[in-house]
Amino acid sequence: MKYYFTVPIYYTNGAPHIGHTYTTLVADVIKRYQKLIGNQPEYTTGTDEHGVNVERAANKLGKSPQEFVDTIADEFRMHWDKLGIQADHFIRTSSPEHQKTVQWMFEQCRANGYVYKGHYTGAYCVSDNLFATEAKPGEPCPICGRTLEAVTEENFFFKLSAFTDKLLELYEKHPEFIQPEARRNEVISFVKGGLTDLSITRTGISWGIPVPNEAPHVFYVWFDALIAYFTAAGGADWQSKGLWPADLHLVGKEIIRFHAVYWPAFLMAAGLPLPKQIWAHGWLLFDNDKMSKTKGNVVRPLPIAEIMGFDALRLYLMREVVFGADGNFGYEALVTRYNADLANGIGNLASRTLSMIHQYRGGKIPASDGDQHFAQLATETVEYVLEAFSKFEFNKGLDRVWALISATDKLIVERAPWKLVKDPDSAELLDRTLYTAAEVVRITCGLLAPVMPDSIQKLWHQLGCPSEVDQLRAAELHWGKLPAGQELRPVQPVFPRLDVKLTMEKLIEGELAERKRQDILLGREVKEEKPALDLAPEITIDDFVKVDLRVGQVLEAAAVKGSDKLLHLKVDIGEPEPRSIVAGIALAYKPEQMIGRKVVIVANLAPRKLRGLTSQGMIVAASIGEGLPVLAGFNEDIGVGARLK
Check residue 234 for interaction with ligand ME8 (CB under 6 A): no
Please state the three-class secondary structure of 188-233 as a single string: HHHHHCCCCCEECEECCCCCCCECCCCCCCEECCHHHHCCHHHHHC
Longest dimension (CA), the chain: 103
Check residue 23 for interaction with ligand ME8 (CB under 6 A): yes
Residue 386, burial from CB neighbour count under 10 angstroms (0-12, 13-18, 19+): middle
Check residue 48 for interaction with ligand ME8 (CB under 6 A): yes
User: Which residues is 153 bridged to in the sheet?
Assistant: 120
- Residue 261 carries which DSSP code? I
Chain-centroid distance, C-alpha 56: 31
**Closest distance of CB 500 from ligand ME8, Å:** 24
* Cβ-based nearer residue to ligand ME8, 50 or 579: 50
Check residue 94 for interaction with ligand ME8 (CB under 6 A): no
Check residue 225 for interaction with ligand ME8 (CB under 6 A): yes
Compute the chain's Rg from CA coordinates.
Answer: 31
d(CA 335, CA 309): 11
Q: Judged by CB under 6 A, which of 4, 5, 11, 207 binds ligand ME8?
A: 11
Q: Judged by CB under 6 A, which of 3, 4, 5, 9 binds ligand ME8?
A: 9
Check residue 284 for interaction with ligand ME8 (CB under 6 A): yes
506, 307 contact by CB (below 8 A):
yes
Check residue 130 for interaction with ligand ME8 (CB under 6 A): no
567, 560 contact by CB (below 8 A):
yes
403, 377 contact by CB (below 8 A):
no
Question: Site residues for ligand ME8, window 357-416 (CB under 6 A)?
Answer: none
d(CA 557, CA 589): 10
Check residue 10 for interaction with ligand ME8 (CB under 6 A): yes
Q: Judged by CB under 6 A, which of 135, 255, 386, 559 binds ligand ME8?
A: 255
* Cβ-based nearer residue to ligand ME8, 324 or 366: 324
Q: Which stretch binds ligand ME8 (CB under 6 A): 63-71, 107-115, 249-257, 269-277?
A: 249-257
Check residue 127 for interaction with ligand ME8 (CB under 6 A): no
**Closest distance of CB 206 from ligand ME8, Å:** 20
How big is the chain, counted in residues? 645
* Cβ-based nearer residue to ligand ME8, 143 or 587: 143
Check residue 436 for interaction with ligand ME8 (CB under 6 A): no
Check residue 291 for interaction with ligand ME8 (CB under 6 A): yes
- Residue 342 carries which DSSP code? I
d(CA 261, CA 587): 64
Check residue 435 for interaction with ligand ME8 (CB under 6 A): no
Check residue 323 for interaction with ligand ME8 (CB under 6 A): no
**Closest distance of CB 324 from ligand ME8, Å:** 11
What is the crossing angle of helices 18-36 and 301-308, to 10°? 60
Q: Judged by CB under 6 A, which of 3, 4, 5, 8 binds ligand ME8?
A: 8
Check residue 226 for interaction with ligand ME8 (CB under 6 A): yes
User: Which amino acid appears at position 461 of this protein?
Assistant: H
227, 101 contact by CB (below 8 A):
yes
Check residue 51 for interaction with ligand ME8 (CB under 6 A): no
* Cβ-based nearer residue to ligand ME8, 5 or 283: 283
Task: Give the sign of the dihedral formed by CA 180, CA 182, CA 188, CA 194.
Answer: negative
d(CA 231, CA 238): 8
Check residue 20 for interaction with ligand ME8 (CB under 6 A): yes
Which of 78, 276, 331, 110 lies closest to 201, judged by CA? 110
Q: Judged by CB under 6 A, which of 3, 4, 68, 283 binds ligand ME8?
A: 283
* Cβ-based nearer residue to ligand ME8, 226 or 469: 226
Query: Which residues of the shown chain bind ligand ME8 in the complex (CB under 6 A)?
Result: 8-11, 19-20, 22-23, 48, 225-226, 228, 251-252, 254-255, 283-284, 290-291
